[in-house]
């Protein structure tokens, strides 16, 4: 004799080939929803009908959750039939069995921080709920739902970690009541030890520009991965005016440093100019920050022109300054020689 299985979300079992068995027993799982058993039988495995005794009453078996039950009397009533289906409840009042397990969703944020969300609904219906975790546009934890697709969206607060505590998420989830008709009032949210100690928040992308001992730290101000798309280019302006632009069609911020007055390139001036762009490639830079270290703040970067000093005789020097500020001036080479005649000559060669 085979095994009858009532799958989660159903009330009628799979088919059992009795093989002419004279006795019958059933193992009832601990998650069984209280119900008697009734039966369908078939001689050919195609046409099934309700099984009744000779008094016209439905053949019924009494069972209890977590108990093994011998159904000897029913075995005799089933014996004439080769194929059998077991029902939870009656044909008029079937009892759906949901099984022992509720659906679980585990989200991994790295560094051993995990969040386990359990539906609170046992059986297959809970599998229909989908959960999406995203980053809120502000510092407010928000939980919303779309009933038509049974989806829950959890938008994590983007600055204050404590607002994303597992208990706070659970309260908002349970407050939804139902999702797509599925009860979520018993939904649970459990964080790992690492999660509970420091719930995750999405930080803004940052870049550090280094000029010897001087650094500038530029932070996008756009929380989450979108800030990673912004690129920075640093050049020297042709004049003594700081200029910050966003070349059309790019996600690049082009910074041209004032070429003489260091104070014009202060981090505060850079930050003001960058924020004035408002958005770069659709990403807001209105909250972008620019911060220099102590060495930069005490003497902001001001590109200088390359110079070459030649000693032509004791105590006599000639200093050649390129006139081009920034590293491009380093490409100019100066060579001094003696002419074959008494004529000064200066020539240039491009290589």
pLDDT digits (tens, 9 = 90+) for 161-186: 999 999 999 999 999 988 888 888 88
Residue 2: inside a domain, yes or no?
no
Distance from C-alpha of 49 to C-alpha of 61, rounded to nearest angstrom: 17
Distance from C-alpha of 247 to C-alpha of 294, rounded to nearest angstrom: 31
211 within 8 A of 301, measured Cβ to Cβ: yes
State the pTM of this model. 0.42
Distance from C-alpha of 78 to C-alpha of 23, rounded to nearest angstrom: 9
Range of the domain at 328: 305-351
**Of 177-186, 204-213, 276-285, 339-348, which gets the smallest average pLDDT?**
204-213
Number of domains composing the chain: 4
pLDDT of residue 272: 96
Residue 11: inside a domain, yes or no?
no
Residue 41: inside a domain, yes or no?
yes
The tens digit of pLDDT for each residue in 55-90 reads 899 999 898 888 888 887 787 788 788 888 999 999
Residue 273: inside a domain, yes or no?
yes
- pLDDT exceeds cutoff 70 at 152: yes
Distance from C-alpha of 60 to C-alpha of 74, rounded to nearest angstrom: 8
pLDDT of residue 314: 58
Q: Which residue has the higher pLDDT, 13 or 203?
A: 13
Residue 131: inside a domain, yes or no?
yes
Q: 184 with 250, same domain?
A: no
- State phi, psi for 34 to the nearest 5 degrees: -50, 120
pLDDT of residue 322: 60
Boundary of a domain, candidates 258, 276, 298: 298
Distance from C-alpha of 195 to C-alpha of 213, rounded to nearest angstrom: 37
Boundary of a domain, candidates 66, 88, 110: 88
Q: 76 with 109, same domain?
A: no
- State phi, psi for 305 to the nearest 5 degrees: -80, 140
Residue 6: inside a domain, yes or no?
no
- The mean of the pLDDT values for the chain is 81
- pLDDT exceeds cutoff 80 at 343: yes
Q: Which residue has the higher pLDDT, 22 or 259?
A: 259
Q: 153 with 67, same domain?
A: no
Q: 107 with 185, same domain?
A: yes
Q: Which residue has the higher pLDDT, 111 or 160?
A: 160
Distance from C-alpha of 267 to C-alpha of 261, rounded to nearest angstrom: 13
Residue 289: inside a domain, yes or no?
yes
Residue 1: inside a domain, yes or no?
no
| % residues pLDDT > 70 (the chain) | 79
Q: Which residue has the higher pLDDT, 220 or 192?
A: 192
The tens digit of pLDDT for each residue in 24-57 reads 788 887 778 889 999 999 988 899 999 999 889 9
Boundary of a domain, candidates 277, 298, 319: 298
Distance from C-alpha of 21 to C-alpha of 80, rounded to nearest angstrom: 9
């Amino acid at each position: 004799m085979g095994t009858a299985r009532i799958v989660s979300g159903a009330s009628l079992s799979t088919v059992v080939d009795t093989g002419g068995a004279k006795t019958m027993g059933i193992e009832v799982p601990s998650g069984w929803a209280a119900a008697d058993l009734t039966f369908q039988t078939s001689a050919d495995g195609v046409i099934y009908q309700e099984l009744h005794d000779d008094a016209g009453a439905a053949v019924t078996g009494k069972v209890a959750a977590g108990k093994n039950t011998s159904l000897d009397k029913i075995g005799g009533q089933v014996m004439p039939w080769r194929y059998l289906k077991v029902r939870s409840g009656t044909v008029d009042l079937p009892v759906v069995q949901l099984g022992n397990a509720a659906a679980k969703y585990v989200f991994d944020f790295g560094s051993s921080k995990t969040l386990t969300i359990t539906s609170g609904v046992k059986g297959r219906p809970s599998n229909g709920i989908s959960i999406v975790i995203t980053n809120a546009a502000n510092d407010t934890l928000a939980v919303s739902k779309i009933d038509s697709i049974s989806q829950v969206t959890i938008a994590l607060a983007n600055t204050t970690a404590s607002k994303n505590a597992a208990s706070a998420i659970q309260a908002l989830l349970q407050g939804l009541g139902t999702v797509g008709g599925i009860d979520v009032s018993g939904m649970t949210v459990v964080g790992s030890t690492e999660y509970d100690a420091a719930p995750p928040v999405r930080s803004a992308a940052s870049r550090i520009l280094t000029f010897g001992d001087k650094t500038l730290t530029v932070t996008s101000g756009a929380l989450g991965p979108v800030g990673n798309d912004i690129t920075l280019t640093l050049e020297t302006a042709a004049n003594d005016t700081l200029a910050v632009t966003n070349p059309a069609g790019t996600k690049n911020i082009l910074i041209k440093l004032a070429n003489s007055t260091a104070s014009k390139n202060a981090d505060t001036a850079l930050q003001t100019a960058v924020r004035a762009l408002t958005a770069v490639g659709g990403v807001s830079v209105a909250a972008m920050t620019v911060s220099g270290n102590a060495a930069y703040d005490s003497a902001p970067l001001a590109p200088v022109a390359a110079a070459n000093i030649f000693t032509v005789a004791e105590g006599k020097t000639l200093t050649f300054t390129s006139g081009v500020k920034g590293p491009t001036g380093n490409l100019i080479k100066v060579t001094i020689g003696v002419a074959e005649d008494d004529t000064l000559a200066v020539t240039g060669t491009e290589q």
